[in-house]
Amino acid sequence: MTTLTIDGQVFDVAPGTTVLEAALANRIDIPRLCYHPDLVPSGGCRLCLVEVEGRPNPQASCGLKCDEGLVVHTQSDRLTALRRDIIDLFVSDHPLRCAVCDKNGACDLQRYAYQYGISETAYDFELSRPLFQEDNPFFVRDHQYCILCNKCVRVCDEIVGANAIEVAGRGFTSHVATPFDGPMVDSACVFCGSCVQVCPTAALLPTSRLRKGREWELTRQRTICGYCGVGCGVEFATQGQQIIYAQGYRAAPVNGEFLCVKGRFGWDFAQHPDRLTQPLVRRDLLEPRPPTADGRPLATATTPTEETVTSDGQRSSVGGPPSAVRGRPSGPGVRRPSVVGRPSADFVPVSWEQALDIIATKLADTVKTHGSDAVAGLSSARCTNEENYLFQKLFRATIGTNNVDHCARLCHSSSVTGLGMAFGSGAMTNPIRDIRNADCILITGSNTAESHPVISYEVVRATKLGANLVIIDPRRVPLVDHATLFLQPKPGTDIYIFLAMAHVILREGWADTAFIAGRTEGFEAFEYSVREVTPQVAALMSGVPAELIEQAARMYALGQRADAPSADGRPQTADGSQTDNTDYALRNTQSIARGHSTILYAMGITQRSNGTELVLTLANLAMLSGQIGKPSTGVNPLRGQSNVQGACDMGALPNVLPGYQPVTDAAKRQAVAQAWDLADLPAQPGITVVEMMHAVLAGKVKAMYVMGENPMLSDPNLTHVEEALRALDFLVVQDIFMSETAQLAHVVLPAASYLEKDGTFTNTERRVQMVAPVLPAPGQSLPDWQIVGQVGEKLEAKLGHAAEKAAAWRYTSTTAIMDEIARVTPSYGGIHHHRLSGEGLTWPCPTDDHPGTPILHTAKFTRGLGKFHAVPVNLPAEQPDADFPLILTTGRILYHYHTGTMTRRSEGLNWRESRGYAEVHPYDAEQAGLRDGGPALVTSRRGQVRTQVRVTDRVPQGTIFLSFHWKEAPANVLTQDFKLDPLAKIPEYKVCAVRIESPKAAAQGKQAAGAVEA
Amino acid sequence: MTSPVKELSSRRYIYQGDPLLTPPPADLMVILDKYRGQRDALMTVLEELQDHYGYLPQQGLQYAARELGFPLSQVYGVATFYNLFQLKPPGRYIVRVCKGTACHVNRSGEILAMIKTKLGIGEDETTPDGMFTLQTVACMGACSLAPVVVVNDRTYGRMTPEKSTAMLTELHDEAAMEVKV
């Protein structure tokens, strides 16, 4: 500790603290304009000058480290005079138009001008930057208010890593500029708005707040972002029933002040006119028609009629499915789901009472006629824990089936399975904030900067501090710009690289023998399994040079920093001496100084037919190097939706009850049954998402209840999904918009979005956080927990259960539901709403006084010993061949989220990226005669989509990339559903064989084929 | 400030294609090849580009940023900071009028004003025919000849506004002759 005196008070501070930090921490205010606690001090504004005894001149306190015995004065006549002059200079080219300024009341310069009594400049006023730029829908840049504090430039460099802007010019003409002073959209800008967040004046403002009210007129509400699984805290500023703008806040435990473009600017979907506002029922359900020839009365194939009504009659046409309801019938033989144009499905608005009656009757009839297992449900990773809990309880307790699943099946079921097998717990082992302190970060199968932008900020920070970043990915993802090593394997061959890394670690003696001996089991079989997989073998199979694999293994196993010596790439022992010892044996490695390495991975690993095996391989690497159970280490699956972790935790999975208690475990099952006032629960695991679609066509499932999911875009092999959903006797969809799936439903229920309800989300690092309503729910829409509760109540009655069963469904608040969750879920045992204000709690949190568990497996693994698994090498199920020579890989892009129901109704997000595209390597484009920006047809064995071509070397030769957000070009028409991961039942979205051609060539090819036939 | 509420659809982002998809032209490649991946070589590369093209072409900077591993914004920041770098193609003759102390007291201001009037351009601008670029400099180090005007490599000493007019006519004729030959 260092002791210093500030304004006569003595403080003990940690070494390395600056005087400004010490003062602010102790509530001594020093004026400052260019300082930000998350940025490297720049000392640019000079406002934070302080007097230091023994030093003749004032010092900038932001860059002044606390020395022992330092005596500092923050106020003096000289300082006041200096500060007054500095502020005067600022306002000599900053117009004091505070009366009409949107930042009035929140402007730092205004605050100091007030404090130091500067009403106008004593210098000649001259505007140096009379530039107003409004080139994007997210924020405006008004350079006349810019004071060149450089915070925006630094945040873009140090935190976001986009480097879109820099100070250009010199002297009086210097200004913050994009390259060549072009529009933001042509720069590297990712529109995260972090620059807007840190701007001390009105130079950067969200477009949405211009002229919409001054700071003190706005109401603020903090909640959790409803997009990806990072769980960022967002503060919404509202006026009346309108959101004016959103921003980050410092106390947010995950993200601090920083957000991504979706979190900061993607909230306007909530007030889109397309929102569902009343329950809808298919007209033919109210006035039954004679069944059609195939005996399916409800799969209507009638032609659209003129009086086809959309659900509210007057919706905007901006990508709104309701207008697409008025579609054309899909012609026979067209292997393409009619997502855009579809047969008429005319809905009639009904009362809640009527809608719920129909649902309860239909579901009860199905249960009575076909049995409980004829009903299946899809819960939602975007609904709260409380809602997911109720939904699975509805299926297990009331309907009596385990046929409940949700989209985690499609993203991280292999993580849950694989990490469960290896460690005993299938979730991120370490908190997100740990990443910034890691020495080496290994990212594989994750486009972190686009899918989990705020986590990528942590990665960028770590690299700026000197950490090594190793990226293993077939695509050149944006974070590669910050990477030390980039390994680009052919899609599907990464398994060789992981095994070869393990081989190298063992060969070079970098394994953590003590950890392996004390904490793990199954090592021998694993060791044997990687014996033959040398880096040379891996290089041959994956196309990645063996040297790079060896370097990656060294960096990861030893947790080396980029600024560490001996970075010449040759395999070395820890003491730095070169080695050519290939003796394959464990050596004593006690003396190795080991840094902290962490693995981040996502869908590139899990969405594979061998996803579970890949996850096990990563777990093996972590245990082999002892990189788990400590801060800044671990195996960290980055989860995709706001509450996908929670939906899994709540047991919205066919094989487990809340808290991952297997349904096959009689004791645990009966304990839950007892809490629900039942004798027992169904013991047979239910069916998974993709299996549900097969089961419907096999006639086993007759009715489905879908809460907030859109399988009509998200599931593999969409043509097949559509067939299945149309074959259902009864389909209920509960959503905020008329999604592609809702259009096939018999009853559509309007739900409240995450901005309109309360409850809890569990983010990817297992942190349970409170969600609070920002807006009132539109029309008659209700929070999902209320809807599920009412369905439960009615259904109990229709099924003829006891009256108290129905009464038990009358939940009064989400707080009461959470208390029930705590009773049946051991890992949530101590989690109650009243404990969640502030930073939330990280499960496992078994008791009311438990502080939560940010890092898993510290002293022992959840399953006791960590288990090594010998993993066989399996390649993707569908390999390219002569007809389908290319590999298709799918994923997300920054500006859209999943099936686009929300983001495509956000004006700004849709402005930035309004159509789908295929990334094609220049060589493949040339071969297929495709033009950059031109159209293309992508065809697989299952279907065809038409999309735009973007020729880029982000993808390797032989691979094309499609994002799955677009209903006009649904990538999942192409993906395969025949080979699932045998354990996790996850489909292989990441690899399938396709061909790409220009529409012209395809037409000519067809003609030629036709001529031959004729 | 204008009204913030504008029709966004008219300004919707349209994919323009990747400007750096083709490999750089051979002459640019020759320069960049020497410094690939060397972040500390930025100034050297910019100087060589300026020497080669006479200014810094936009595409040259884009390729330089990519090959050196520098963010383009920072390359642009550096390129606009130094006076020696030009982002626009310069004229046939770069006319530099000295504003140093010795030249200033010898009425260089009048010379500058005269040249501006004659050429119809301001400082750091180029005539539409691409013939003249006008610049000012702080001192040429030729104070004994003050006031001084430097055109490309030629120094004109003890200038007057009248002499500067004659100089411009002379240069114009010279260029015309060159074209004929």
Residue of B nearest to A211 (CA): B4
* Whole-number pLDDT of residue B69: 85
pLDDT at A304: 37
Residue B180: predicted pLDDT = 59
Tell whether A659 and A768 lie within a shared domain: yes
Give the pLDDT of residue B179. 65
Tell me the β-bridge partners of A50: A59
Of A168, A207, A922, the CB nearest to B21: A922
**Contact assignment for A180 to B76 by CB distance below 8 Å:** yes
**Any CB–CB contact under 8 A between A291 and chain B?**
no
B15 neighbourhood in chain A, CB within 8 Å? 917, 933, 948, 950
CA distances from A253 to A40, A561, A642, A769 (A): 21, 26, 15, 10
Taking the C-alpha atoms of residue A470 and residue A479, their distance in angstroms, rounded to an integer, is 10
User: pLDDT category, A283, cuts 50, 70, 90?
Assistant: confident
The one-letter code for the residue type at A29 is D
* Of A179, A907, A933, Cβ closest to residue B72: A179
Instruction: Say whether B74 and A166 touch across the interface (CB within 8 A).
Output: yes
Tell me, yes or no, if B81 comes closer than 8 A to chain A by beta carbon.
yes
Residue A420 lies in a domain: no
The answer to whether B175 and B132 are in contact (CB under 8 A) is no
- Provide the shortest C-alpha distance from residue B82 to chain A (in Å): 8
Q: Model confidence at A1009, in pLDDT bands (50, 70, 90)? A: low
- pLDDT-derived band of residue A326, with 50, 70 and 90 as boundaries? very low
Mean pLDDT rounded to a whole number for chain A: 87
Enter the tokens of residue A581: 């010892």
Asked if residue A466 belongs to a domain, the reply is yes
Q: Do A763 and A834 fall into the same domain?
A: yes
Query: A956 lies in which domain range?
Result: 886-1013
CB contact under 8 A, B18 and A951: yes
**A806 and A928 share a domain?**
no
Residue B1: predicted pLDDT: 34
Res. A296: pLDDT tops 60: no
The CATH number of the domain where A538 resides is what?
Answer: 3.40.228.10
List CB contacts of A113: < 8 A, sequence separation 6 or more: A87, A91, A96, A119
pLDDT in tens, B39-86: 889 999 999 999 999 899 999 999 999 888 889 999 999 999 988 898
A921 in contact with chain B, both atoms CB, cutoff 8 A? no
Chain B closest-CA separation from residue A906 CA (Å)? 12
Please check whether residue A242 touches B, CB under 8 A: no
Tokens describing residue A57: 């001149």
Subunit contact B15:A140, Cβ cutoff 8 A = no
Cβ distance of B11 and A922 shorter than 8 Å:
no
pLDDT digits (tens, 9 = 90+) for B88-139: 888 889 999 999 999 999 999 999 999 999 999 998 889 998 899 998 888 8
Average pLDDT over residues A137-142: 93
Q: Encode A482-539 in three state secondary structure.
A: HCCEEECCCCCCHHHHHHHHHHHHHHCCCCCHHHHHHHEECHHHHHHHHCCCCHHHHH
Say which CATH number the domain at A384 has.
Answer: 3.40.50.740
Residue A601 predicted with pLDDT over 90: yes
Which candidate from B1, B18, B73 shows the least CB-CB separation from A178? B73
Chain A residues inside the 8 Å CB shell of B86 = none
Compute the nearest-CA separation of A186 from chain B (Å). 9
Task: Please answer yes or no on whether B15 and A211 come within 8 Å at the CB atom.
Answer: no
Percent of chain A with pLDDT over 70: 91
Residue A567's pLDDT band (boundaries 50, 70, 90)? Answer: very low
* Chain A contact present for B85, CB below 8 A: no
Same domain, A704 and A834: yes
Nearest CB among A169, A933, A951 relative to B80 is that of: A169
Residue A751 has φ and ψ, to the nearest 5°, of -110, 165
Does pLDDT of A278 surpass 90?
yes
Q: Please, what is the Cα angle at A712 between A711 and A718, to 5 degrees?
A: 105
In a domain, A569, yes or no: yes
User: Which member of A132, A179, A912 has the closest CB to residue B1?
Assistant: A132
**Same domain, yes or no: A483 and A355:** no
Number of inter-chain CB pairs under 8 A, A vs B: 86
Residues from chain A contacting residue B13 (CB–CB below 8 Å): 185, 911-914
- The pLDDT score that the predictor gives to residue A163 is 93
Whether the CB of A912 is below 8 Å from some CB of chain B: the reply is: yes
3-state secondary structure chain B: CCCCCCCCHHHCCCCCCCCCCCCCCHHHHHHHHHHCCCHHHHHHHHHHHHHHHCCCCHHHHHHHHHHHCCCHHHHHHHHHHCCCCCCCCCCCEEEEEECCHHHHHCCHHHHHHHHHHHHCCCCCEECCCCCEEEEEECCCCCHHHCCCEEECCEEECCCCHHHHHHHHHHHHHHHHHHHHC
**Is A268 touching B (CB cutoff 8 A)?**
no
Q: Which of B4, B6, B13 sits opposite A185 (nearest CB)?
A: B13
Identify whether A911 is part of a domain. Answer: yes
pLDDT confidence of residue A591: 57
Same domain, A577 and A614: yes
Same domain for A502 and A577?
yes
Output the pLDDT for position A1011: 61
Say whether residue B144 is in contact with chain A using an 8 A CB cutoff.
no
pLDDT tens for A448-498 read: 999 999 999 999 999 999 999 999 999 999 999 999 999 999 988 999 999
> What chain B residue is nearest to A102 in terms of C-alpha separation?
B1
**Inside any domain, residue A1000:** yes
Residues 58-77 of B with CB under 8 A from A: 58, 61-62, 71-77
B18 and chain A in contact, CB less than 8 A = yes
In a domain, A559, yes or no: yes
Cα–Cα distance between B60 and B75 in angstroms, integer?
Answer: 11
Residue A303 covered by a domain = no
A716 plus A787 within the same structural domain: yes
Nearest chain B Cα distance for residue A890, angstroms: 20
What is the model's pLDDT at position A994? 93
**In chain A, positions 355-384, which contact chain B (CB-CB < 8 Å)?**
none
The widest CA-to-CA distance across chain B, in whole angstroms, is: 63
How confident is the model at residue A172, as a pLDDT? Answer: 87
Chain B contact for A98, CB < 8 A? no
**The pLDDT value given to residue A738:** 92
Query: Contact A179/B73, CB-based, under 8 Å?
Result: yes
- Give pLDDT tens digits for A667-703: 999 999 999 999 889 999 999 998 999 999 999 999 9
Q: Where are the domains of chain B?
A: 19-81, 93-180
Q: Does B19 touch chain A (CB under 8 A)?
A: no
Give the model's confidence band at A665: pLDDT under 50 very low, under 70 low, under 90 confident, else very high: very high
Contact between chains at B74 and A210 (C-beta distance less than 8 A): no
CA A379 from centroid of its chain's CA atoms: 18
Q: Fold for B93-180, please state it.
A: Glutaredoxin (3.40.30)
Q: Which residues sit opposite A10 in a β-bridge?
A: A5
Query: What are A758-768's pLDDT values in tens digits?
Result: 999 999 999 99
Residue A386 corresponds to which amino acid?
A: E
Q: What mean pLDDT comes out for the span A189-208?
A: 94
pTM as predicted: 0.88
**Number of independent structural domains in chain A:** 3
Closest CA to A147 of A42, A250, A258: A42
* Opening angle at CA A176, ends A171 and A182, nearest 5: 120
CB pair distance less than 8 Å for B73 and A188: yes
User: Taking 60 as the threshold, does the pLDDT of residue A942 lie above it?
Assistant: yes
For residues A557 and A598, membership in a common domain is answered with yes
**A922 in reach of chain B (CB within 8 A):** yes
Q: Chain B contact for A179, CB < 8 A? A: yes
Decide: helix, strand or coil at residue A427: coil
pLDDT range class, residue B20, cuts 50, 70, 90: confident
pLDDT at position A594, please?
87
Chain B: residue whose CA lies nearest to A162: B71
Residues A897 and A917 in one domain: yes
Mean pLDDT of B25-48: 89
Please check the confidence at residue A865 and state whether its pLDDT lies above 60. Answer: yes
Judge if A716 and A826 occupy the same domain: yes
A469 touches B at CB < 8 Å: no
Q: So what's the pLDDT on residue A474?
A: 93
Q: Give the whole-angstrom CA distance, residue A426 versus residue A653.
A: 13
Residues A609 and A649 in one domain: no
Per-residue pLDDT, A165: 95
At A915 the pLDDT is 86
Could you tell me the pLDDT band of residue A430, with boundaries at 50, 70 and 90?
very high
